[in-house]
Amino acid sequence: MLGCNKRPRIYKSAYPVNEGPTVIYRLKPSTRNTLRRKADEEKEAADEAQAEKTLESFLANPHSSVERPNGFELIDLKEPGWTKPAVFVVYPSRPPLRRPEEAHLYFSPHHKMGVGNHSTVYHVEMVVPRSWLVHEVMCIDCVKDDVKELLEEEDGPHGERRLKKWDEKAGIVLRQETRKRPLHMMKDWADVGTVTYILKDSVNTDVMEYEGPYRVVHTRVKYQNLERGPLCVHLSKGKAHPNPLTTKVRLAAKLSNDNSEDLYMSEKEADSYQGFPKHFFEHWSGYNVWEPMQEPVPVQALVPQFYGYYLPESESGTFKSPILLIEQCGKPIVSDELSVDDR
């Protein structure tokens, strides 16, 4: 299910799913989709290489002035002043979100959304693995317990083997005050002159930060996923029932009419979705001011998220329409009900 940069929203079913005939569909990627997937895979490989480079540079000089890898520092930041080197815990690489090979889509003829020129749109429910939507988790409590054991193994139960450099006050805790001015945008209007808009208010922060060398510890704790077994006692504490391995999302499905022209239009629509640039699907593009409106407005996605174009595995028997899966992103626009600004 490619061609999207936002995953479907999880929700609880609003109606029961009745048993009915089952049809197997397979994804039909276009040439544009294949190229985009290749570009995404190349970016993932580049990001992984950069993460490895960051880790190598940090291990060569474990200091707060060096870019830090995925992990966190252990130190008491209550009071400013000189202190012993902080412990920096390095995480293992986080497994990527799983790409599901199979999902279950549920239709009902009673949940029609609307009718277009060449297709009919339905509310549908799709059941997918949670690992497609939710990253694997790292338990901080398990990591802290593991770090305590590792340091004790290296230093000895009473610190008799600890190196002297770990007791020297080579680092310092500083109070960092940050004052950010408000973010303004100015716009010249022919009728009112220059208007200043405040996009962000001023921000004042007062935090404690550590500067100095680190004692690096590589945790042995792994990321957790219910598909590989139960969660640890910390993450499962207080949960009478663990999260299921699958989850249900709501989408919109477009089914084509049974004629060659409408089938062609459906395929061309899917090809267009797969050819749109990624920013067409982004739900946040900052604030923009467009004439004749005089107030900044957030710009959201131009088109619904696209989740693939699917063809039935078998063409025998009665007509089975291709399925074009998109985001269920609201109600149809009725232009007669829009204000001048909305238009």
CB 30 within 8 A of CB 271: yes
CB 199 within 8 A of CB 186: no
Which whole-number Å values give the CA distances from 261 to 16, 265, 284, in the listed order? Answer: 35, 6, 36
- In this predicted model, which residue has the larger pLDDT, 149 or 12? 149
Residue 248, beta-bridge partner list: 127
Closest CA to 112 of 103, 104, 122: 122
For 200-250, the pLDDT digits (tens) are 788 888 888 999 999 999 999 999 988 888 889 998 887 766 778 888 889
Q: Which pLDDT belongs to residue 12?
A: 47
Which whole-number Å values give the CA distances from 122 to 4, 64, 116, 256, in the listed order? Answer: 20, 54, 11, 11
Q: What are phi and psi of 65, to 5 degrees?
A: -80, -10
For 150-178, the pLDDT digits (tens) are 999 999 998 899 999 999 999 999 988 88
Q: pLDDT exceeding 90 applies to what percent of the chain?
A: 38
What are the sequence ranges of the domains in the chain?
A: 25-39+60-337
Q: What is the DSSP string of 133-165?
A: TS--B--HHHHHHHHHHHHHHHH-TTSTT--GG
Q: Give the pTM.
A: 0.75
| Local structure of residue 230 (DSSP, 8 states) | P
Q: Which residues lie closer than 8 Å to 338 by C-beta, 6 or more apart?
A: none
For 16-43, the pLDDT digits (tens) are 445 667 889 999 887 777 888 888 889 9
For 94-131, the pLDDT digits (tens) are 988 888 888 899 988 888 888 888 889 999 999 988 88
- Is residue 284 over pLDDT 80? no
- Is residue 1 over pLDDT 60? no
- In this predicted model, which residue has the larger pLDDT, 260 or 187? 260
Mean pLDDT of 61-67: 96
Average pLDDT of the chain? Answer: 84
> Two tokens at 45?
């490989």
Q: Which residues lie closer than 8 Å to 144 by C-beta, 6 or more apart?
A: 74
